[in-house]
Amino acid sequence: MIQIIDRCRKYFYDVLEVNASISEFKEINQFNIPFVILDNYLLYNLKLFEKNFILLIPKRENEFTPASYYKQIKIVKHHSNLEVILMKSWIDSFNRKRLIGYKIPFIVPGTQMYLPSLMIDLREHFTSIKATNEIYSPATQSLFLYMITHNERDAYNVDKFQTISGYSRATIRRSIIEFENNGIGDIVKNRKNKILTISENIHSLWKQNINKLRNPIIKEIWLSHLPQNQMFPEAGLSALSQYTMISPLRNETFAVWKNEWNILSQNNSVKKLIEPEKTENNIILQIWSYSPTLWSTKQMVDKYSLYLSLRENKDARIEQALEEMLNEVLNGYWNRKV
């Protein structure tokens, strides 16, 4: 059984370039999992893309039909309130089609991965389960903002996106699937690669996608001062005051990518800078879901992300400044203060 777990971890890393966390499921009593399930399956916790699942591994091969798997997975899901994924070392093609027909998530390490909730259907290559995302993933939003920031009538593939962003190939493939499912640009297949071309102008792209773009801020923390030898781009009203004529707050505001902050915050000297409450002398540090420095050309966050981070602010002066900034950038002009 350890072998299939190890193969599963390797499969996730090989095709998605993620380190999946798989551990023994110890909440059996807590969730009152029925004996009929425990008698026939081994249960494991799986954490993938910050989401928790239960891996259900049959103790004996070829004992149940897809219809039986469907019923038993439904029982586990009911008791645990978690999505359940069937994992087997082998499934014949006929039963794989039947499992997909029942929309049963399953993994055959090294062969196939069908996870509809994550829009993943991997066989010999990537294909997508057609679905329109309500909100773009952070990486997809970041790549989208690159395209409208640079306004290039160019072709994009995995290699080009990786060069300009540093994202993993698996992350970029998922983003291209999101672009395809949401009708962004024209996508053609060239052998095993998908090539994205943009023909629409930035006004149209922005207008069509504005409701699918997220506020990049995950949370804000307050620091007594910036960590030594660290340069963060200005954000919030600090950046807006540079782009427009609005007055800044007394508190300077900066932004950092969550991945960078997760590393920095482990340093004891940085931990000591964190303040429990906001005061007029604190520095505000915004933790972002994507890197605020990828597309910014100055020591400030890019204008589109800045707009998204402040658009819910109801202060009339801020609303007016944001609209002025957005109109200028959409029309191809840069504020004279930049």
**DSSP string across 208-230:** HHGGGPPP-EEEEEEESSPPTT-
Same domain for 153 and 46: no
pLDDT of 336:
38
Q: Which of 235, 211, 247 is nearest to 309 (CA)?
A: 235
What is residue 122's predicted lDDT score, i.e. its pLDDT? Answer: 62
Split into its structural domains, the chain has a count of 3
Verify that 116 and 21 share a domain, yes or no: yes
One domain for residues 244 and 193: no
Domain shared by 194 and 269, yes or no: no
Q: Considering the entire predicted model, what is its pTM?
A: 0.61
Partners of 187 in the beta sheet? 196
Whether residues 21 and 121 share a domain: the answer is yes
> Going along the chain, which residue ranges are E strands?
21-24, 41-48, 51-58, 83-87, 106-108, 112-115, 120-122, 126-127, 155-156, 186-190, 193-197, 217-223, 253-257, 274-275, 283-288
Same domain, 184 and 224: no
Residue 337 lies in a domain: no
Do 241 and 207 lie in one domain? The reply is: no
Question: Could you read off the pLDDT of 73-112 as tens digits, one per residue?
Answer: 999 999 999 999 999 988 877 788 889 999 999 999 988 8
Domain that includes residue 146, residue range: 138-212
pLDDT at 191: 66
Distances (CA, A) of 32 to 29, 48, 240: 5, 24, 54
The beta strand positions in 123-185, using DSSP E, are 126-127, 155-156
Across 131-159, average pLDDT: 83
Residue 132 lies in a domain: no
- Cα 242 from Cα 214, distance rounded (Å): 23
Cβ atoms within 10 Å, residue 338: 11
User: What percentage of the chain has pLDDT greater than the value 70?
Assistant: 91
Q: 127, 152, 167: which is the final residue of a domain? A: 127
Is residue 156 a part of any domain in this protein? yes
Q: Is residue 221 part of a domain?
A: yes
Give the pLDDT band (50/70/90) at residue 60. Answer: confident
Q: In the numeric block, which tokens belong to residue 159? A: 């290699």
The total of other beta-carbon atoms located within 10 Å of residue 239's CB is 28
CA 226/CA 230 separation, integer angstroms: 7
- Is residue 187 located within the same domain as residue 282? no
CATH classification of the domain holding 178: 1.10.10.10
Average pLDDT over residues 222-250: 91
SS3 60: coil
pLDDT at 208: 87
Residue 105 lies in a domain: yes
What is the pLDDT averaged over residues 39-62?
90
Q: Residue 126: its pLDDT value, please?
A: 37
What's the pLDDT tens digit per position in 173-215?
A: 888 888 888 888 888 877 667 888 887 788 888 988 999 999 9
Give me the pLDDT at residue 153, please.
66
Kindly state whether residue 133 falls inside one of the protein's structural domains. Answer: no
Q: What is the average pLDDT across 219-247?
A: 92
Average pLDDT over residues 292-320: 91
Q: 252 with 312, same domain?
A: yes
Q: Pick the last residue of a domain from 172, 189, 212.
A: 212
Lookup: tokens for 324: 């002025």
Structural domain includes residue 303? yes
Domain end: 178, 194, 212, which one? 212
Question: Strand 21-24 vs strand 41-48: parallel, antiparallel, or unpaired?
Answer: antiparallel
85 and 190 co-located in one domain: no
Q: Which residue has the higher pLDDT, 248 or 71?
A: 71
- Same structural domain, 16 and 51: yes
Q: Are residues 142 and 240 located together in one domain of the fold?
A: no
